[in-house]
Amino acid sequence: MREFIVEADGGSRGNPGPAGYGAVVRDAVTGATLLEAAEYLGVTTNNVAEYRGLLAGLHAARTLDPAAAVHVRMDSRLVVEQMSGRWQVKHPAMKPLALEARGVFPPDRVTYEWIPRAENKHADRLANEAMDAGARGERWSAKGPTAEPEAGAPGAGEPPLDAPGRQDPRGAGDQRTTARGWSAAPDLGAPATLVLLRHGETPLTPQKRFSGSGGTNPPLSEIGREQAHRVAEALAKRGTVQAVLASPLTRTRETAEIVAARLNLDVVVEEGLRETDFGAWEGLTFGEVRDRYPDDLNAWLADPAARPTGGGESFAETAVRIAATKDELVSAHAGRTVLLVTHVTPIKTFVRLALGAPPESLFRMELSAASLSAVAYYADGNASVRLFNDTSHLR
């Protein structure tokens, strides 16, 4: 088994204040530096920046070898103690970050060690370079900070789902990236573009009932099948989709099969794309859940780590699953356009992670049946949201 050392740090000039992180991955045997990562985060707290540095280091190590063992060294005693399980993670901004970090590698392959700041100079330097670049309106890169033009310079018009990015991929990153700007970024090559299709209507959809992966697994309604045919025609006209993947649930597989038949492609079932399990709330309306389980509902609305009544899946757990699925798909489909036929929560989570938005943003997105969204992922790990909740093909 290959072994890596990850050294990570984050800082905030003010708490909260302008912040950034740095991370370095080393070969545990030779000590050689294998990868560096750094990013300006905008305004946030020191602790959040440290967690973002940890995430960047873990994801970088996973890119090198997902089967490796990792030893993390940080000068943040808080992060080390929390990730080692000796201290609880209580702050709501840090809970989803800690949960995501635990899901990058199996827990038995990651160890944590606190080190003095003097032994963490490399990661600390990278974090400060990122903050300095951000203060100048620039973005950090491994070759040094590079200037970005002012936002708003490009002309209007919506690019195709798989068009090379006009919006800087660093303008909308996952949990690790939030710097903003515009750039053609020609050195990054063609992105992996994930086109996100919500399945067509089922009998439960018009009634706005919870319908996750733990319920009755309803099929498409007649309206839902018609919606699938319409989106199939729209995608056929674009002519850009090269593969079709679907959640294992009936409604997504039916939608995917209709679309794939029109595109002359096969459907590959991807378990990671399944909907959240809503436990005892499956089949109920929001009002019915509020009447029957008011305390559980309030906790769920306030905390992404809270589970629905009856042992369902929390939004934080869904985010870890989707982040891992995204990493696998982007690696497998670099430079390609792939259609993912999935559900409300997974699609919103793809978008949330790409934007670096907080978990509560899930409640502020509207996602219609048979709608299209799209996110492009670049070779440096950054993302660009291209489309959200497009239903023009249904009109």
Beta bridge partners of 373: 196
Nearest to 54 by CA among 97, 16, 4, 103: 97
Q: Which candidate in 36, 50, 129, 275 is catalytic?
A: 275
Let me know: does 385 contact 371? Beta carbons within 8 Å.
Answer: no
Strand partners, 18: 43
Measured on CA atoms in the order 367, 370, 371, 377, is the torsion positive or negative? Answer: positive
Residue with tokens 């993912």, as numbered in its chain: 340
Residue 211 CA, chain-centre distance (Å), reads 22
Cross-strand bridge partners of residue 338: 194, 243
* Tokens of residue 394, six digits: 């249904």
Q: Residue 32, Cβ neighbours under 10 Å: how many?
A: 9
- Strand positions, DSSP E, the chain: 3-12, 17-27, 33-44, 69-74, 110-114, 138-139, 146-147, 192-198, 243-246, 267-269, 337-342, 372-377, 383-390
Q: Which of 375, 331, 268 is nearest to 66 (CA)?
A: 331
**282 annotated active-site:** no
Stated as kind and residue range, the H or E segment containing 108 is none
From residue 334, alpha-carbon distances to 43, 231, 267, 338 in Å are 32, 24, 19, 10
199 part of the active site? yes
Question: DSSP character for 393?
Answer: G
By C-alpha distance, which of 183, 101, 243 is closest to 378?
A: 183
Neighbouring-strand partners of residue 340: 196, 245
In degrees, to the nearest 5, what angle opens at C-alpha 14 toward C-alphas 13 and 16? Answer: 115
Q: Which of 199, 201, 270, 317 is catalytic?
A: 199
Residue positions annotated with a catalytic role: 199, 275
